[in-house]
Structure 1
Amino acid sequence: MIDLLLVLVLLLSLVAVAWPFFFYPLILRLLPTRAEAPADGPLPSASLLFCAYNEAASMPDKLANLAMLKDRHPTLEILAFDDGSSDGTAGLIAAQGGGGFITLLQGPGRSGKAHGMKLLAARARGDVLIFTDANVLLDADAIDNLLARYADPDIGGVLGSLHYLGEGDSATAAVGSLYWRIEEKLKDEESRTGNVLGADGSIFSIRRSLYPEFPDSVLDDLTVSMAVVFAGKRLVKAKDVIARERLVTGRGDEYRRKVRIAARAWHTHSHLRPQLRRMAAIDRFKYASRKIVRWFGGLFILIGALAALVLALRLSILLAMLGVIAVTAFFRIGGRARSGPLATLMDILIAYAATLKGVVKAMRGRTVTIWNPAQSR
């Protein structure tokens, strides 16, 4: 009976780990398509917002990209917030933004992205607020394609598609690229069937009238985009709105980034919980499948590993010892590897560990409001 229970725990752990990436996509494909209502009319006005901290290396390309978008859309309002940069980022933005090209707001010190975005949103005047990151470049037709989706009055928010660059630079980059390709496909399916359950900061937009209030400790991307769903409007993804960003290549950078994001995501979940409970059943299912189950993936791996160890001990002490030796050797070799399958598997486990650590930190009351750009982009 105990052996059967251990096998069941092990199988359930494996299913839980695989759920967001295998079982959930299969279920989404079975759901019917929810069409958008075709409509004609003028494009809404728009404001593009981004926050920056010590992004001097990214600024020349970013500012050239914004200048190109401004040439294509003379009425596009562009606002930037500098979060106390010490590398001249604010000076670069101010120099390029002379004559009203970019409106620059500067904080007194480090106050965080969520705080900066709230200041920018309060200053913006466009009908649609477009959010992006300081190191992200948008394709020339991204604004046109994004605003065109707002012809449907039921659509309250539109996400773009993020294409990462530098997949072959390291095992960490390769794992990040694979993860994001899966994430993009999941969002495509969620959009086809109704609502995407949350945006990332690379490129997304909402109607300005839907912008919510929120504390600085949350993920503003997730909080702001979910306000669309809570308002009874559709949050959809546009494949032809393309943003490009370089992948993080260093394990340390990626680990710290995932811990920070996971901690803020859990605070966001706590902040949004009353509204999440009032969502439609299909949206609650999507949210749990793509977010909550994934956040605790590291815990499911630990539970499954413990069940496997106890089961091996009950079968044979030698078998258990061989398993422990094999796992120890993997971590020693995989920890030093920078390419190949062992390095890839190691980076996957590190990602799970970082996410679980961030969630546990947040559950213990720790908050993260500021960020540092990855040095290995």
Structure 2
Amino acid sequence: MGLLTDSIDLIAALALLLSLVAVAWPFLFYPLILRLLPTKAEQPAAGPPPSASLLFCAYNEAAAMPEKLANLAMLKARHPALEILAFDDGSSDETAALIEARGDLVTLLRGPGRSGKAHGMKLLAARAQGDVLIFTDANVMLDPDAIDNLLARYADPDIGGVLGSLHYMGDGESATASVGSLYWRIEERLKDEESRTGNVLGADGSIFSIRRALYPDFPDSVLDDLTVSMAVVFAGKRLVKAKDVIARERLVAARGDEYRRKVRIAARAWHTHSHLRPQLRRMRGVDRFKYASRKIVRWFGGLFILTGIVAAGTLAMRISPMLYMVGGLTGVFILWRGLRSRGGPFAAAVDIVLAYFATLQGVAKAMTGRTVTIWNPAKSR
């Protein structure tokens, strides 16, 4: 009996330790390992910058469109040869009409209804004429020198794709926005280190670009940002990040909006992972390590948290039933306070845990064969 008890205690302790390491891995251990890797220098060549096409998809973005069109007009004034293409995914508001009114600035493609961003981006990419395709979102604004700085990186012929830096606005509006802002600052630093050491492992849709010749074919059900950016790595070219290519976007402030957004993104990301698995297996060892550390470990973070809670509860019960009760009540109190608060440490703690579980729910959804093709703008943005 004593041997069985000791075994349970050892298993619980190991499960708790491994869970803590797994949860901390993408944000603590992985960055430390990246800093030990050597820098891979870029090798720019002489020549004029490549031509470019800027592409974005929109659905019910009428509120953001006046500012977006003004931002595009500013970029066009600086780069008269810049081609700008937009896809409207069957908006029920004035989005399409607002874009169409600026036909001198943007070429609009209308979808037959809700067909999704991946479908729209494929249509735009097929229509684009630029040597470099620049992808962004309808609610994202680019700084004046973003295009110059982005295209300058293509002077290195080994570079096949360039990501920009996303700066969020409105991070003080709620605990959800503050947690999202903190998470994204960490994410940006990780991408900087990945870029320094070779390749960034995947882009988000706010601002990234690739050489048009590398644009892949893919089904409408995948996450196009991840699929298109990873095509650069699969082609043996470098996918790098430019700190001076700055995009700005307003944070999602409502907890419910952010939860649904994370479920949708995680479901599509896992579906995309399944689609790309054969090519992922052929990547270099260092790139497979990066991909697993920044993506796969995070996708299962909610499972690691659950395992850690069960293990900690088991150990607490073995030490003292009173300790188990105090720990359980403390957890319930933090959850109660966090759900009732709009700010402060309790609300932030709850938002962090909810983010993990939203991601886990999305992955579980994708594993059962379900995915999400269409999207809706967050109302609290």
Regarding TM over 0.5, the answer is yes
Q: 1:218 aligns with which of 205, 219, 222?
A: 222
Residue identity in the other structure for 1:38: P
Give the Cα–Cα distance (whole angstroms) in 1 for the partners of residues 214 and 48 of structure 2.
Answer: 20
Give the Cα–Cα distance (whole angstroms) in 1 for the partners of residues 44 and 326 of structure 2.
Answer: 62
Q: 1:206 aligns with which of 195, 210, 221?
A: 210
Give the Cα–Cα distance (whole angstroms) in 1 for the partners of residues 330 and 199 of structure 2.
Answer: 44
What's the counterpart of residue 83 of structure 1?
89
What's the counterpart of residue 4 of structure 1?
10
Is this contact kept in 1: 2:200–2:241, CA < 8 A?
yes
In the TM superposition, residue 318 of structure 1 has moved relative to its aligned partner by 2.0
Is this contact kept in 1: 2:299–2:359, CA < 8 A?
yes
What's the counterpart of residue 165 of structure 1?
169
Is this contact kept in 1: 2:44–2:157, CA < 8 A?
no
SS in 2 for 1:216: coil
Q: How does 1:1-377 map to 2 (within 5 A)?
A: 1-96=7-102, 98-99=103-104, 101-377=105-381
Q: Structure 1 segments of 4 or more deviating over 6 A?
A: none
Give the Cα–Cα distance (whole angstroms) in 2 for the partners of residues 107 and 207 of structure 1.
Answer: 25
Give the Cα–Cα distance (whole angstroms) in 2 for the partners of residues 141 and 40 of structure 1.
Answer: 20
Structure 2: runs of 5+ lacking an equivalent: 1-6
Give the Cα–Cα distance (whole angstroms) in 2 for the partners of residues 367 and 230 of structure 1.
Answer: 24
Deviations along 1:118-176, whole A, 9 cap, x unmatched? 00001001000000000000000100100010011000000000000011111000000
Deviations along 1:236-268, whole A, 9 cap, x unmatched? 000000000000100000000000000000001
In the TM superposition, residue 182 of structure 1 has moved relative to its aligned partner by 0.3
Greater mean deviation of Cα atoms: 221-230 or 324-333: 324-333
Give the Cα–Cα distance (whole angstroms) in 1 for the partners of residues 27 and 167 of structure 2.
Answer: 19
Give the Cα–Cα distance (whole angstroms) in 2 for the partners of residues 220 and 370 of structure 1.
Answer: 12
Residue identity in the other structure for 1:61: E
Residue identity in the other structure for 1:35: A
In the TM superposition, residue 291 of structure 1 has moved relative to its aligned partner by 0.2
Percent identity of the aligned residues? 81
SS in 2 for 1:239: strand
In the TM superposition, residue 38 of structure 1 has moved relative to its aligned partner by 2.3
Instruction: Report the TM-score when normalising by structure 1.
Output: 0.99
Give the Cα–Cα distance (whole angstroms) in 2 for the partners of residues 363 and 131 of structure 1.
Answer: 28
Is this contact kept in 1: 2:44–2:153, CA < 8 A?
no
Instruction: Report the TM-score when normalising by structure 2.
Output: 0.98
Deviations along 1:206-241, whole A, 9 cap, x unmatched? 000000011111110000000000000000000000
Give the Cα–Cα distance (whole angstroms) in 2 for the partners of residues 107 and 5 of structure 1.
Answer: 55
SS in 2 for 1:105: strand
Give the Cα–Cα distance (whole angstroms) in 2 for the partners of residues 320 and 229 of structure 1.
Answer: 49
RMSD: 0.7
Give the Cα–Cα distance (whole angstroms) in 2 for the partners of residues 39 and 145 of structure 1.
Answer: 15
In the TM superposition, residue 322 of structure 1 has moved relative to its aligned partner by 1.8
Give the Cα–Cα distance (whole angstroms) in 2 for the partners of residues 224 and 295 of structure 1.
Answer: 20
In the TM superposition, residue 315 of structure 1 has moved relative to its aligned partner by 1.8
Give the Cα–Cα distance (whole angstroms) in 2 for the partners of residues 157 and 172 of structure 1.
Answer: 31
